[in-house]
């Protein structure tokens, strides 16, 4: 797949012939320097933007031909998102934020219990009814993880989820993601520019100038092509 | 509760300034319409009230020649009072006279004034003129006279108990002169009453004019003023061979009020323009709300909210603004109306406004304000749906 932003002089070829697949249950780390195209890649996989050409298939569905509404539903049921910061709607409580994907899906049955259990699992059992702007950055990322998991998605996508946290808090958030991934057999694709915080992971993809390479610090010719 | 209503509610509750601004905009729009209605419709109705109370009744029976000769007033009054809708009827006869008065040795004379003959027994049941006699009492005997306050002043300050000489030219062209005792001074707020006339007993006037059986007009008061046309038609059908002329108060007052009505229409237009500007204020405030929630909209879209969901959230906001604004505005408006009614509001000693609650108009105004708030939210809401999730989230 390719992604080209803009036209003419301002044209940016953000993704160049990127092609790979991720196995169910894999914890994939996407690394690369700033501006290399990591977020662009994640936005494509997350169906937040469309590639200029190429396609994204999730759970065997080619998403290219889906309508805007279908893509919304697809995002809602198949994908969980954790952004760098300000993940939560500050007008709502932590619990309400966690419930939101279920509300949108109109599957409110049992949602309350599941959301509460997830919040307990991420260590927010006693913060659930606080307004989302009354908790710390680390707690907000925990809530975002709970919200990302509440619809039992196929993939959880995280774009520099620890980018705004101090290193100690970042460490606990990373451990939380890894343990949730393990416990639930949940697929994670996590973008980071700090590979070392993550320790052992299933797989690493490096993005360099819009091209994808298998492994950490790979030589130029090991570009992935399927 | 639907999460979209809940979110719309919370987003507004956490933006108290914008919410308050939008509510004020909507409610002031409504208040302006209520105030306009109280003042201008109140003035209009007050004029009708006074014209009907002082001069025309709810229905006025006259003759094409302005003098009823074919039937006696007693007959007509009795006939009319047998109609169930009719509360009372009273005859009147008008002419003109000149007055002279001797005050502390000095005579002021030859003062031309309108003179009205009334039947005291019937007149107080039909007309409110007797209520304007602030000093003394209404005409009660054949030689009592009530003088309008303006005339009393022009005559050098006539008081109750003073003697007046009234000169009238009778039907034969001869002067008829009679002495009266002033029993009351009539003064009405707004001067619509008999401030510029004198009032005597109708039989005295008939004697002086030598028009024994004649009546100028018969004022009819209804217990249900909406039945004026039915009474009119019934009367005309019952006396097809006579030259009677019957007018409802609307017809009698038409000349006075036709100009006023287009004024009211214009004032109403201004009120509706005011409401339109309230709607524009709501558009602006909603646009501000949408742009302050760009990131939230992006997150909502990322986790799967459809465009329609975003639309609904902001339309709900419009409804919330509309409901509260309409409620508050109607509350303000009713308070003002209540105040105006209770205090018998008037302007600079003019006639007191005839304040009424026009519920259909009140509800219509509230619904219109609500509708405008929702319509005003459509454009901002559509704008909100146009935000792409990635674009929206870049604003972090
Ligand atoms: N919406 C956009 N319009 C134009 N250029 C963009 C846009 N988004 C990203 N880019 C460009 O694409 C390249 C990759 O950006 P990005 O994916 O955000 O990198 P990373 O996340 O790895 O830092 C950069 O050169 C960036 O300037
Ligand atoms: Mg990035």
pLDDT at residue B350, rounded to an integer: 78
Predicted-complex ipTM score: 0.92
Report the atom number in ligand 1 closest to the C-alpha of A40: 17
Residue whose CA is at the smallest distance from ligand 1 atom 7: A5
pLDDT tens track for B99-108:
888 776 677 7
- C-alpha to C-alpha distance for A226 and A7, rounded to whole angstroms: 28
pLDDT at residue B226, rounded to an integer: 92
pLDDT tens track for A68-124:
999 999 999 999 999 888 789 999 999 999 999 999 998 878 899 999 999 999 999
pTM: 0.83
pLDDT tens track for B275-285:
999 999 999 99
Average pLDDT score over residue span B302-314? 96
Q: Are the beta carbons of B91 and B119 closer than 8 angstroms?
A: yes
Q: Is the pLDDT of residue B395 over 60?
A: no
List A residues 181-220 in contact with B (Cβ-Cβ < 8 A): none
The secondary element (H helix, E strand) that includes residue B390 is: helix B389-394
* Furthest-apart CA atoms within chain B: distance in Å: 103
A69 touches chain B (CB under 8 A): yes
Alpha-carbon gap: A80 to the closest alpha carbon of chain B (Å): 7
Confidence bin at A219 (pLDDT 50/70/90): low
Axis-axis angle for helices A94-105, A68-78 (nearest 10):
130
Q: Is the pLDDT of residue B322 over 90?
A: yes
- Which CATH class name applies to A3-88+152-214? alpha beta
Q: Are the beta carbons of B8 and B318 closer than 8 angstroms?
A: no
Taking an 8 Å cut-off on Cβ atoms, the answer to whether A100 and B6 are in contact is no
Domain spans of chain B? 3-51+257-394, 66-242
Print the SS3 string covering chain A. CEEEECCHHHCEEEECCCCCCCCCCCEEEEECCCCCCHHHHHHHHCCCCCCCECCCEECCEECCCCCHHHHHHHHHHHEEEECCCCCCCCCCEHHHHHHHHHHHHCCCCCHHHHHHHHHHHCCCCCCCCCEHHHCCHHHHHHHHHHHHHCCCCCEEEEECCCCCCCHHHHHHHHHHHHHHHHHHCCEEEEECCCHHHHCCCCEEEEEECCEEEECCCCCHHHECCC
Average pLDDT score over residue span B134-145? 87
Q: Are the beta carbons of A30 and A41 closer than 8 angstroms?
A: yes
Taking an 8 Å cut-off on Cβ atoms, the answer to whether A105 and B299 are in contact is no
pLDDT tens track for B233-268:
999 999 988 889 999 998 988 888 888 888 899 998
Phi-psi sector, A147: left (phi>0), alpha (psi -120 to 50), beta = alpha
Nearest Cα to A83, choosing from A173, A143, A159, A149? A159
Taking an 8 Å cut-off on Cβ atoms, the answer to whether B396 and A83 are in contact is yes
pLDDT at residue A164, rounded to an integer: 86
Domain spans of chain A? 3-88+152-214
pLDDT tens track for A12-22:
999 999 999 99
C-alpha distance from residue A38 to each of A47, A193, A203 (Å): 14, 9, 15
Q: Which residues line ligand 1 (CB under 6 A)?
A: A 5-6, 12, 14, 32, 34-40
A83 touches chain B (CB under 8 A): yes
Lowest mean pLDDT among B158-162, B346-350, B387-391: B346-350
Q: Are the beta carbons of A14 and A4 closer than 8 angstroms?
A: yes
pLDDT tens track for A127-159:
999 999 999 999 999 999 999 999 999 999 999
pLDDT tens track for B54-96:
999 999 999 888 888 888 999 999 999 999 999 999 999 999 9
Confidence bin at B351 (pLDDT 50/70/90): confident
- C-alpha to C-alpha distance for B158 and B152, rounded to whole angstroms: 5
Chain B residue closest in CA terms to A150: B303
């Amino acid at each position: 797949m390719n992604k080209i932003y803009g036209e003419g002089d301002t044209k940016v070829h953000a993704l160049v012939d990127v092609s790979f697949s991720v196995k169910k249950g894999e914890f994939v780390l996407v690394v690369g320097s700033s501006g290399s195209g990591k977020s662009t890649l994640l936005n494509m996989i997350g169906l937040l933007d469309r590639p200029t050409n190429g396609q994204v298939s999730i759970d065997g569905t080619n998403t290219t031909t889906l309508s805007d509404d279908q893509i919304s539903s697809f995002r809602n049921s198949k994908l969980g998102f954790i952004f760098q910061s300000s993940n939560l709607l500050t007008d709502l409580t932590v619990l309400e934020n966690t419930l939101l994907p279920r509300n949108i899906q109109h599957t409110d049955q049992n949602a309350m219990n599941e959301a509460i259990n997830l919040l307990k699992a991420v260590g927010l059992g006693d913060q659930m009814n606080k307004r989302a702007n009354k908790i710390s950055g680390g707690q907000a990322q925990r809530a975002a993880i709970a919200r990302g998991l509440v619809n039992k998605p196929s993939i959880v996508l995280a774009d520099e989820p620890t980018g705004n946290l101090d290193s100690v808090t970042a460490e606990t958030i990373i451990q939380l993601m890894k343990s949730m991934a393990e416990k639930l057999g949940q697929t994670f694709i996590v973008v980071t520019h700090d590979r070392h915080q993550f320790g052992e992971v299933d797989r690493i993809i490096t993005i360099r100038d819009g091209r994808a390479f298998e492994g950490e610090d790979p030589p130029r010719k090991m570009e992935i092509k399927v | 509760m639907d999460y979209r209503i809940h979110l719309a509610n919370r987003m507004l509750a956490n933006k108290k300034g914008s919410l308050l601004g939008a509510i004020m905009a909507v409610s002031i729009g409504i208040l302006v319409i209520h105030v306009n209605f109280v003042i201008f419709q109140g003035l209009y109705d007050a004029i009708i009230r006074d014209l009907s109370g002082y001069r025309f009744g709810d229905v006025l029976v006259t003759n094409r020649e302005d003098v009823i000769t074919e039937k006696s007033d007693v007959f007509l009054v009795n006939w009319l009072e047998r109609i169930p809708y009719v509360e009372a009827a009273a005859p009147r006869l008008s002419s003109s006279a000149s007055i002279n008065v001797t005050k502390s040795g000095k005579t002021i004379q030859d003062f031309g004034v309108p003179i009205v003959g009334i039947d005291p027994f019937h007149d107080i049941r039909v007309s409110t003129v007797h209520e304007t006699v602030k000093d003394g009492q209404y005409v009660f005997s054949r030689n009592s006279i009530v003088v309008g306050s303006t005339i009393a002043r022009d005559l050098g300050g006539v008081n109750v108990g003073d003697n007046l000489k009234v000169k009238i030219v009778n039907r034969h062209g001869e002067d008829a002169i009679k002495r009266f005792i002033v029993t009351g001074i009539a003064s009405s707020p707004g001067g619509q009453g008999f401030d510029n006339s004198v009032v005597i007993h109708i039989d005295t006037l008939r004697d002086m004019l030598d028009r024994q059986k004649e009546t100028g007009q018969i004022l009819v008061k209804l217990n249900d003023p909406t039945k004026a046309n039915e009474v009119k038609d019934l009367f005309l059908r019952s006396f097809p061979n006579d030259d009677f002329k019957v007018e409802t108060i609307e017809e009698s007052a038409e000349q006075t009020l036709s100009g006023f009505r287009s004024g009211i229409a214009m004032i109403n237009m201004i009120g509706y323009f005011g409401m339109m500007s309230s709607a524009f204020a709501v558009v602006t405030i909603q646009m501000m709300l949408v742009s302050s929630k760009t990131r939230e909209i992006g997150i909502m879209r990322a986790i799967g909210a459809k465009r329609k969901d975003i639309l609904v959230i902001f339309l709900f906001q419009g409804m919330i603004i509309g409901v509260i604004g309409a409620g508050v505005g109607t509350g303000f408006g009713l308070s003002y109306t209540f105040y105006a009614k209770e205090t018998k509001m008037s302007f600079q000693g003019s006639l007191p406004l005839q304040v009424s609650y026009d519920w259909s108009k009140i509800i219509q105004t509230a619904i219109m304000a609500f509708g405008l708030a929702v319509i005003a939210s459509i454009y901002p809401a559509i704008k909100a749906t146009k935000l792409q999730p990635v674009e929206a989230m870049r604003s972090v």
